[in-house]
């Protein structure tokens, strides 16, 4: 084979191996993985009337993810930032394109260093977030506040909270209603119960929302005692979303491939740090009687039933930085029912294995090329030596 032909073959194989590995790992891998996911269906008779006159088949398709932790300027290495943010951007954009959710909730800890970032660094973090989680007008994006966004209770202040609320153009504690479904958003960082100014403000707002929802439920039954001046919502118990989980002793009862590692499940949770306090958890359950609670913070998945009637789902982190197998929740919700499914993203270990395999192929190709060239040189040497002897 002519020498130039060998070089071309080597170059083509090199491009195919390197380019194929890059294209698969950085773009294509997300499609077959997310294509396995589908919106769960609610089982009920179609065409009937639901709560507040909404059809029984009037459902909301909600995508729920948590703990994106966009790295900041202080503790974020540039390569770590590039790698993990690209993973989240491709995963989110692919999920939007394939699944078409009507509303997306991110359950706090959007940023990793919001609690101490300067205004310049904060603006850079927000710019990157807006690029990564861009979406069409057909999809509503709702963001909750977490401890890394404004700091733990002892670190938060009005400046950080209002800076966060200004960026996302909404109060951190409110109700979002869509197709007759009430989504209650709770600023769980401020439920410390020590009477701090932000805590008092959030608790006051929660009491008002509780009264409004209870009056709305009474209006559905035709009874309206002491509800003058209340804002009415669809008469259905809310789905409660927050960053901190409600109080539980540990993750010992959690199972599944996205649960905490076995060696960590029996570690006791600290109230007001890992989970809400018992008192704050009971107040929320008494005030709102939610039909479902969705929370984040732990970076691992878990299902808990509080008081034998209030189910809570802890949503794992969306980032490779926090776990090898990120995931998110797909929720199909109607005014009277809901159903959930979990969608797993590509595992980081799979991507690393593909790149390692591609590297091994390149090494073998290089060695084969060297051996072939060595053999060619030996043949040429023997030929030249033979001619020399004949002379």
What's the chain's Rg over C-alpha atoms?
Answer: 28
Q: Any idea what the Cα angle at residue 338 is, between residues 337 and 340, rounded to 5°?
A: 165
Domains of the chain listed by start with CATH number: 57-221+230-346 (3.60.21.10)
Per-residue pLDDT of the chain (391 residues; tens, 9 = 90+): 455 566 676 677 777 877 888 899 999 999 999 999 999 998 753 333 445 555 555 899 999 999 999 998 887 788 888 888 999 999 999 999 999 999 999 999 999 999 889 999 999 999 999 999 999 999 999 999 999 999 998 899 999 999 999 999 888 899 999 999 999 999 999 998 888 999 999 999 999 999 999 999 887 666 667 788 889 999 999 999 999 999 999 999 999 999 999 999 999 999 999 999 999 999 999 999 999 999 999 999 999 999 999 999 999 999 999 999 999 999 999 999 999 999 999 999 999 999 999 888 888 877 776 776 666 556 556 555 555 555 4
Reported pTM: 0.88
State whether residue 222 is helix, strand or coil.
coil
Coil/strand/helix, residue 113: coil
320-346 CB burial, b ≥16 within 10 A, e <16:
bbbbebbbbbbbbbbbbbbebebbbbb
Tokens of 147: 């401890």
Q: Give me 342's structure tokens.
A: 């979990």
Give the containing element (helix H, strand E) for 332: strand 327-333
Q: Tokens 């119960």 sit at which residue?
A: 193
Residue 318 CB: number of other CB atoms within 10 A?
Answer: 28
Q: How far is CA 317 from CA 63, 243, 295, in A?
A: 14, 11, 11
CA 222, chain centre distance (Å): 40
Residues 6+ away with beta carbon under 8 Å from 43: 339
DSSP-derived letter for residue 172 is S
Q: Which two tokens stand for residue 119?
A: 């205004």
Residue whose C-alpha is closest to residue 119's, from 85, 151, 169, 73: 73
């Amino acid at each position: 084979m002519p020498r130039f032909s060998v070089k071309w073959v080597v170059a083509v194989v090199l491009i195919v191996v390197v380019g194929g590995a890059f294209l698969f790992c950085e773009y294509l891998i997300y499609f077959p993985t997310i294509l396995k996911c589908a919106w769960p269906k609610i089982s009920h008779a179609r065409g009937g009337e639901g709560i507040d006159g909404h059809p029984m088949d009037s459902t909301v398709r909600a995508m729920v993810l948590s703990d994106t932790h966009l790295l900041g300027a202080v503790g974020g290495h540039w390569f770590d930032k590039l790698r993990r943010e690209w993973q989240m951007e491709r995963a989110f954009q692919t999920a939007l394109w394939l699944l078409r959710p009507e509303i997306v909730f991110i359950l706090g800890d959007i940023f990793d260093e919001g609690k101490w970032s300067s205004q310049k660094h904060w603006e850079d973090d927000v710019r990157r977030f807006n690029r990564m989680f861009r979406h069409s007008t057909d999809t509503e994006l709702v963001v909750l506040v977490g401890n890394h966004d404004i700091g733990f209770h002892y670190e938060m202040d009005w400046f950080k909270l209002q800076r966060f609320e200004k960026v996302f153009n909404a109060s951190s504690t409110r109700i979002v209603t869509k197709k007759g479904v009430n989504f209650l958003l709770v600023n769980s960082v401020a439920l410390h119960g020590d009477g701090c100014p932000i805590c008092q403000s959030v608790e006051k707002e929660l009491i008002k929302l509780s009264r409004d929802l209870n009056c709305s439920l009474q209006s559905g039954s035709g009874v309206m005692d002491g509800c003058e001046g209340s804002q009415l919502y669809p008469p259905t118990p809310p789905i409660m979303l927050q960053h901190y989980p409600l109080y539980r002793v540990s993750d010992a009862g959690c199972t599944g491939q996205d649960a905490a590692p076995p060696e960590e499940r029996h570690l006791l949770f600290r109230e007001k740090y890992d989970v809400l306090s018992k008192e704050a958890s009971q107040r929320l359950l008494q005030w709102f009687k939610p039909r479902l609670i969705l929370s984040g913070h732990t970076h691992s998945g878990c299902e808990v039933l509080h008081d034998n009637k209030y189910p809570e789902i802890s949503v794992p982190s969306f980032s490779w930085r926090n776990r090898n197998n990120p995931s998110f929740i797909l929720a199909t919700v109607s005014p009277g029912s809901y159903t959930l499914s979990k969608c797993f993203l590509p595992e980081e270990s799979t991507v690393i294995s593909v790149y390692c395999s591609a590297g091994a192929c390149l090494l073998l190709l290089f060695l084969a090329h060297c051996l072939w060239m060595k053999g060619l040189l030996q043949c040429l040497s023997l030929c030249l030596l033979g001619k020399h002897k004949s002379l």
